[in-house]
Amino acid sequence: MGTIKVIELIGASKESWEEAAANAVREAAETVSGIVGVEVTAQTAKVSGDRISEYRSTVKVAFAVKSHR
């Protein structure tokens, strides 16, 4: 498979941690090609008043590094 690079991102959603992770991957795919995997490393949330107002997922996104050989 060659070399894989990993970047860490935080995605956000008003609905769920799953959607927050999916948002991070979708946005990364706008500028990074060849994404091959994702690892969710943390789930946190912003609280307003007594309710969760924003779900956040910290993810590591792995993608293939293109070789110029």
Domain locations in the chain? 4-64
**CB 12, CB 20: distance < 8 Å:** yes
pLDDT reading at 40 higher than 70? yes
- Residue 2 pLDDT: 80
Per residue in 11-36, pLDDT (tens digit) is 999 999 999 999 999 999 999 999 99
Interacting residues of 26 by C-beta distance below 8 A, sequence separation 6+: none
Q: Which CATH architecture has domain 4-64?
A: 2-Layer Sandwich (3.30)
The mean predicted confidence, pLDDT, of the chain is 94
Query: Structure pTM?
Result: 0.88
pLDDT reading at 66 higher than 90? no
